[in-house]
Amino acid sequence: METLFHAQHHAIAPQQITLESLVTEHFERAFLMFNTFVEDHRHCVLLSEGVFRKVAANGTPSTDALLIELVDSIRNLNEYQPLVEGLSREETLCWLLKDAYDLKYADIARKMGLDRDSVKVAIANVRSALAASL
């Protein structure tokens, strides 16, 4: 019979994330995030691959490291096609992190280097612009 201590110990044992599992779970979302800003399919694939290469080169793979690299890469894109005319890259990026990764406002704020209220306003602006464009 397993004791409560053993059950708790097994429940909190951290699971190691491999680069392969990170790519398997997140490549499509990373691609779709880039595709929101860049029309060229091949370029989006290359950008996505580049993000995963950076994550691998920086040490232990993690979802947090991936999201930080995604945010940096999208912020540094030379090209930008707005999701809806008038929306900024930052607003769209906040909305994508909320929609694609279901992050909390505080987590988005931390990854973006913004305050929580700015993130809420950005997401509301995108939602309003999308609703008006339909």
Percentage of the chain modeled with pLDDT above 70: 88
pLDDT of residue 54: 92
pLDDT of residue 81: 78
Q: Which string of DSSP letters, residue by residue, matches 23-44?
A: HHHHHHHHHHHHHHH---HHHH
- Calculate mean pLDDT across residues 60-79: 89
pLDDT digits (tens, 9 = 90+) for 10-29: 444 445 678 888 898 899 99
pLDDT of residue 13: 42
How many helices, marked H, and strands, marked E, lie in the chain? 7, 0
pLDDT of residue 122: 96
- Calculate mean pLDDT across residues 90-107: 93
CATH architecture, range 83-134: Orthogonal Bundle (1.10)
Domain boundary assignment for the chain: 17-81, 83-134
Q: Which SS3 state, helix, strand or coil, does residue 78 take? A: coil
Contact residues for 55 (Cβ-Cβ < 8 A; gap 6+)? 19, 22, 61, 62, 65, 66, 69
pLDDT digits (tens, 9 = 90+) for 99-128: 988 999 999 999 999 999 999 999 999 999
Residue 7 scores a pLDDT above 80: no
